[in-house]
Structure 1
Amino acid sequence: MESSVKSLARVRASELAGRGWLNTGGAALDLEKLRGKIVVLDFWTFCCINCLHVLDELRPLEAEYKDVMVTVGVHSPKFEHEADPVALAAAVERYEITHPVLDDPDLLTWQAYSARAWPTLVVIDPEGYIVAHLSGEGHAAGLGSLMSELIEEHEAKGTLHRGDGPYVAPEPVSRDLRFPGKVLPLSNGNFLVTDTGHHRLVELGPDLLTVVRSIGSGTRGFADGGPAVAEFNEPQGLSLLPVAVAAEVGYDVVVADSVNHRLRGISLTTGDVRTVAGNGVQRLLEAGPARVDDDGATTSARTFATAPLETALSSPWDVAYSSVLKKVVIAMAGTHQIFDFDPSTGDVGIVAGNGLEGLLDGAAGQAWFAQPSGLTEDADGNLWVADSETSALRVLRFDENSDVTVETVIGEGLFDFGFRDGAATDARLQHPLGVAVLPDGSVAIADTYNGAVRRYDPATATVSTLARGLAEPSDVLLDETGEVPRLLVVEANTHQLIRLPLPQNALQVDEGAAQTLRPKTLVAPGELALTINFSAPTGQKLDDRWGDPTQLKVSATPPELLVSGGGTSVGLSRKLVLAADIPEGVLHFSARAAACDGPEDASGEIPDHAACHLYQQDWGIPVLIDVNGGAELALDLRGL
């Protein structure tokens, strides 16, 4: 970050040039029309988290000095998508920008003012001279002091003109959702959505249209309490806690409240909202200490704060529960790191990233990220990350000691992006924001600025396109509520959620036999009575001449889901015990029974040389652990 003091040389400000203007009621502005006002040029691009921070830093100044100060946002795009005027207009609405915005896709004004970084601020005095040139964020206090100096100076000179500025508010639009961010499936078949533009959460019915309830007043702000009074500020990611953890801490869902720089906890029963981490102060520096291992490698210190409500966070964008760490993992976009939060203890720590912005793989403390914005966990406990500013798909892999290695599977760097399928090493994305694991282990990607959903297949290390023509998809989710799994997409700029079909090769699971996944079954934690029903067909009898002719094999993904009852033994019933701290998984059953043809002889025995048959069936039962779920599970073994 660099800054300059008030300029001593009197340098005349360059004219404002670009493609057009927003928030002016259709009028074009120039410096002559702004003469007599203190003008702050904010060079920004809507992908940039630091630019979004500056928008929020400027809001109090704009309110305090509204009669003398005019902010002009000069939008200078980084990504190709950001040069689209429709996308820019949506961003101006999304971020509730209440000042004029110059659309500068060719960087004409950017170059005229020698801007070098996003964000850059240039202050022009009422006479049209540049008095300050600031790069980066965190300049609010300095700007406030400068405003006081300029007001005093130019009131004395008679060159300050008080009154309304040129901002013209757009016509308001009424919608159920406004720029939704992320989505979470609920055990009742509904979906919880962060209604980011309305600063609240909305529970939608299975049709994705019916509003069941809202949580939050809908006013931008910060307040805990009941669903009608609580306030959020651009909430984003959502994570459901395991049932046992939720019962312990008293809330079910963790929300990344991005602009409040906090994590919030939600009770699904009451809708009550509480703050669980973050003091509301944006974290500007590297988030925590590092340690040097015996081999000289630098890794992140796992825990750096044990007072969660006194800890500074920075634009948490997504959250996911890690079955490996037993914690909520946070995509901390503002510091370009991956954090974690332990709901039981309140500890906040670093999982990966040293705070430097860029793309660098390796050990956790050496890795560089750039605005991580989407998280999901796969069946092996790996964490997949949509690293938006590097247009990359990253993965965090854990070894037996839970130490982390960061690997990039798609992406090259901060300024490399595009739209290309094929080998992952050559494939390109454009500012992805969401990720989801599909039934076959491949990863769906909300390729936001390409308006597409992409698929990475680890088995072949290739990338394909599942859908395109979407309006800034911000999240993707595997939806298993129907007969066939589908992909649910949050289409932010059309303010809706949609479903897409999955390709056939993404629907199959090969664990000895290919199986199509079914909707998830609600089961209670603790003891589960499993029964496999089998009756020999007419004319056959179970062949028990050499003992029990049945066999049952039980396992689970992840294995930790099954506390006891796993393995292979005779019999078609079993008492299983399911873990309470694993939110979901798949129970795998393989059952066998042997029966033979022919009437029984007088002794009731199967005659010698009778034809015998082996009946076998494999099941993969996706389950959600819920205290309201069933304690019994019965399946039918049918002969072929």
Structure 2
Amino acid sequence: MAQHARVRAPELTGKGGWLNTGGTSYTLADLRGRIVILDFWTFCCVNCLHVLDELRELEEKHRDTVVVIGVHSPKFVHEAEHQAVVDAVERYEVHHPVLDDPELATWKQYAVRAWPTLVVIDPEGYVVAQHAGEGHAHAIERLVSELEEEHAAKGTLRRGEGPYVAPEPVPTDLRFPGKAVRLPGGTFLVSDSTRHALVELAADGETVVRRIGSGERGLADGGPAEARFSEPQGLALLPDGRVVVADTVNHALRSVDVETGRVTTVAGTGLQWWQGSATSGPARETDLSSPWDVAWFADRLWIAMAGVHQLWTWTPPADGDEDGDGSGTVEAVAGTTNEGLVDGPAAEAWFAQPSGLAAAGDRLWIADSETSALRWIERAEPDDPEERAEPGAGGREFTVRTAVGTGLFDFGHRDGPAGQALLQHPLGVTALPDGSVAVSDTYNHALRRYDPATGEVTTLATDLREPSDAVLDGDGIVVVESARHRLTRLRLPEEAVRVEPVAHRTQRAATEVAPGRLRLDVVFRPPAGQKLDERYGPATRLVVSATPPELLAEGSGTDTGLGRDLVLAEGVTEGVLHVSAMAASCDDDPAQEYPACHVHQQDWGVPVTVAEGGADRLPLVLAGLDAP
């Protein structure tokens, strides 16, 4: 195999300590002889959750030679709480050791700039690869096989059981429930996310009526005992009485017959959507990406497609329509796939992990979690009514607006006028009878209220534990307390709770850059045995923008090269550079008629401050042998 740069891996340090090791702390010396993969993640990040799923097969296949270490590096204040990390490790079934690094000490030592980032360390303790973003499992799999062969020959490979120690399971009726819906009979259907099932609870919100799903992770249709889900989340009641489930990790929508409990897949292929895949088409033939919530609005089902920062729709087949497979059609309607907060025509808007939806009159409310924002979408009549019938017309038919929130890095708990109010990673939104909306303000452990009539944000309840959804029930509201594994019933108070305002910015350090010209380089080296896939045009794409937009005098926009000269505007001293990069590669073997091809992609939000003496080059590693 090719010789890699000999860069000694920095030590692993984190004040939060180690999880999934039975109380044992580890150093790199303890892991010498094993191939170590560091997964820098944070549990708010859907791309990080994608990587957890990508690593599962690799972990199992190479369990006697590879040790995966999750390095939890928080973005939000709540994610720096140790118990929150403990909960997340169980919630997402992380079956490898995790180092809790609340102060980003190891993140800084490895010069990481993005969630997620994977770093590979060889059995002798040297860094041999670094990859930012998703889609690298195939490259790491090949590298691991080469490292096994090389170090077995050298006598430096040590096989055996890894350091993972499974925690003791806790018996509860629900385990990290995600969303809920009230059924016509007065019972509640709840997505029991960590147990990969749905649970129907009686009207008291506590007594289990039945379970739908075997409880084993998988994608299988059938009756209540045979059906399988994978971390289901959002639920919506259709006009015909069926419930549709956002089956998040299966990248699918499932339909549940409320009477029989039978489960049917109505959208998605079970594969994750990637750049270049179809954005509309027959529902069962089109890939989706981590659908997180669903809601019926404007005569179709809307999907919060958290995995690609978009809103899609599913239109069920009309009665008697026998076209295709009879499962209807899906279409991307809002969002560009770039991560951020940009309002305007739906097709041009930016979202950041939309995770909660609620229809109310002529608005669809959206909990946009990574921007800690409450947003809405409404119809914008086209100049030409015939445009509605055109494919892709949804992007022109609707407009996106923001009620609360400013961007990716500002969050907190502050009531008051909407322009000054702050949320922290909300996952749910609920329409209230008076026209206002309740927000499940997840990382603030609170239920908040926004009143469009006054433009004011207030707090309805505190001391909840990671509320992720809420459902109206008579004169009260039932909250899904995800981290307390229960539903909690509250009365809607006449006056809101008063709280002391708190504002935060992410503790991730800003990069100092020099004024004037800044060279941006995205480092990408095709994995071993592959080459750039240029069969159908350019194999790379780079999108650059800034918050505020005035930060960049030159260099914003889309192009095919992975390097670009940016010019920072005079007078703007700080902001965030938004960089989105994509590269496609294929197996470099002329003998293969159908080579395997892969997409590598990552979004960066890089906080910068402009100062004399700052860097004049900004390198970002998409995939390379070592950090630049």
In 1, the alpha carbon distance for the partners of 2:251 and 2:32 equals 37
In structure 1, the residue matched to 2:367 is: 386
Q: Distance in 2 between matches of 1:134 and 1:409?
A: 36
The CA deviation at 1:343 is: 1.5
Q: 2: CA distance between counterparts of 1:158 and 1:6?
A: 19
- For 1:284 and 1:29, how far apart are their aligned partners in 2? 36
Which residue identity does 1:74 align to in structure 2? V
For 1:113 and 1:50, locate their aligned partners in 2 and report how far apart those are by CA, in whole Å: 20
Q: For 1:457, give the aligned amino acid.
A: D
- 1:389-468 to structure 2, matched below 5 A, reads 389-400=370-381, 403-468=397-462
Deviations 1:281-304 (A, max 9, x none): 11122775xxxxxxxxxxxxxxx5
SS across alignment from 1:417: strand
Task: Report the counterpart of residue 314 of structure 1 in structure 2.
Answer: 289
1:151 corresponds in structure 2 to 148
Aligned to 2:330: 348
Report if the CA contact (8 A) 2:38-2:69 is conserved.
yes
Q: Structure 1 CA distance, aligned partners of 2:364 and 2:3?
A: 48
User: Of 184, 203, 207, which aligns to 1:206?
Assistant: 203
Higher relative contact order (CA 8 A, sep 6+): 2
Q: Does 1:501 align with 2:491?
A: yes
Letter matched to residue 341 of structure 1:
W
Letter in structure 2 aligned against 1:445 = V
Matched, 1:220 2:217: yes
2-structure distance, mates of 1:455, 1:467: 10
Query: Residues 390 and 413 of structure 1 are in contact (CA less than 8 Å); yes or no, is this contact kept in structure 2?
Result: yes
The one-character-per-residue Cα deviations of 1:433-492 (angstroms, maximum 9, x if unpaired) are 000011110010000000000000111101000011111000012212xxxx11110000
1:96 and 2:86 are equivalent in the alignment: no
TM-score (normalizing by structure 2): 0.74
Provide the secondary structure at the position in 2 that maps to 1:476: strand
- In the TM superposition, residue 505 of structure 1 has moved relative to its aligned partner by 7.1
Cα drift, residue 175 of structure 1: 1.1
Please give the alpha-carbon distance, in whole angstroms, between the structure 1 residues aligned to 2:2 and 2:216: 37
Q: How many angstroms apart in 1 are the aligned matches of 2:156 and 2:362?
A: 64
Q: Please provide the CA RMSD for this pair.
A: 1.4
Amino acid aligned to 1:394: R
TM-score using structure 1 length: 0.73
- After TM superposition, which residue ranges in structure 1, 4 or more long, deviate above 4 angstroms? none
User: Which residue identity does 2:366 align to in structure 1?
Assistant: V
Q: Distance in 1 between matches of 2:418 and 2:476?
A: 24
Higher mean C-alpha displacement, 177-186 vs 349-358: 349-358
Structure 1's unaligned 5+ residue stretches are 247-251, 289-303, 507-640
Tell me the SS of whatever aligns to 1:86.
helix
Structure 1 distance, partners of 2:44, 2:2, is 29
Alpha-carbon separation, structure 1, partners of 2:222 and 2:375 = 37
Distance 2:161 2:119 in 1: 21
What residue in structure 2 maps to residue 15 of structure 1?
11
Measured in 1, the distance between the counterparts of 2:215 and 2:90 equals 16
Q: 1:287 to 1:370 in 2, by over 3 A?
A: farther
- How many Å separate the matches in 1 of 2:378 and 2:456? 19
For the Cα contact (< 8 Å) 1:49–1:371, is it kept in 2? yes
- State the alpha-carbon separation in 1 of the partners of residues 4 and 57 from structure 2: 27
Match of 1:329 in 2: 302
Deviation at 1:355, TM superposition (A): 1.0
Q: How does 1:163-182 map to 2 (within 5 A)?
A: 163-182=160-179
- Aligned partner of 1:151: which letter? E
CA contact (8 A) 1:262 1:313 kept: yes
**Does 2:50 align with 1:53?**
yes
Cα pair 1:435 1:477 within 8 Å, conserved: no
Deviations 1:125-158 (CA, angstroms, capped at 9, x unpaired)? 0000001011001111111101110000000001
Q: Distance in 2 between matches of 1:350 and 1:63?
A: 35
Distance 1:363 1:336 in 2: 15
Q: 2:116 aligns with which of 110, 115, 119?
A: 119
Listed one character per residue, the Cα deviations across residues 92-128 of structure 1 (whole Å, up to 9, x for unaligned) are 0100101000010111100000100000000000000
* C-alpha separation in 1, matches of 2:274 and 2:78: 28
Q: 1:541-552, aligned counterparts within 5 Å?
A: none
Partner AA of 2:10 in structure 1: S
Matches within 5 A, 1:606-621: none
Q: d(CA) in 2 for partners of 1:95 and 1:67?
A: 23
Paired residues, number = 473
Counterpart contact for 1:7–1:132, Cα < 8 Å: no
Per-residue deviation, 1:351: 2.2
State the shift of 1:400 in Å.
4.1
Write the letter of the residue equivalent to 1:392: A
Query: In 2, are the aligned partners of 1:434 and 1:446 still within 8 Å (CA)?
Result: yes
Tell me if structure 1 keeps the 8 A contact 2:280–2:332. no
Deviations 1:164-196 (A, max 9, x none): 000111011111100000000101110100011
Paired residues of 1:340 and 1:349 also in contact (CA < 8 A) = yes
Identity score, percent: 62
2:126 is aligned with 1:129: yes
| 2:300 partner letter | K
Amino acid corresponding to residue 42 of structure 1 in structure 2: D
Determine helix, strand or coil for the equivalent of 1:284. Answer: coil
**1:341-388, CA deviations, whole angstroms, 9 ceiling, x for partnerless residues?**
01126111122111110000000111000000000000x231000000
Deviation string 1:579-618 (CA, Å, 9 cap, x unpaired) is: xxxxxxxxxxxxxxxxxxxxxxxxxxxxxxxxxxxxxxxx
Q: Could you report, residue by residue, the CA deviation over 1:558-586 in whole angstroms, capped at 9, with x for unpaired residues?
A: xxxxxxxxxxxxxxxxxxxxxxxxxxxxx
Deviations 1:55-78 (A, max 9, x none): 000000000000000000000000
Which residue type is aligned with residue 17 of structure 1?
Answer: T
Distance 1:306 1:123 in 2: 39
Q: How far apart are the structure 1 equivalents of 2:312 and 2:217? A: 25
Matched letter for residue 476 of structure 2: R
Distance 2:277 2:335 in 1: 9
* Residues 1:305 and 2:286 aligned together: no
Equivalent position SS for 1:409: strand
Whether the 8 Å contact between 2:252 and 2:291 is mirrored in structure 1 is yes
Residue 6 of structure 1, CA deviation: 7.0
Distance 1:462 1:6, change over 3 A: farther
SS in 2 for 1:21: strand
SS in structure 2 at match of 1:153: helix
| Alpha-carbon distance in 1 for matches of 2:220, 2:338 | 32
Give the corresponding residue for 1:374. 356
Deviations 1:194-216 (A, max 9, x none): 01111000000011111001100
Compared with structure 1, are the counterparts of its residues 7 and 262 closer, same or farther at alpha carbon in structure 2 (3 Å cutoff)? farther
Aligned 8 A contact 1:100 1:166 in 2: yes
* Long gaps (5+) in structure 2: 319-327, 383-387, 389-396, 497-628
Deviations 1:398-454 (A, max 9, x none): 134572110001000011111100000000000000000111100100000000000
Q: 1:455 to 1:270 in 2, by over 3 A?
A: same
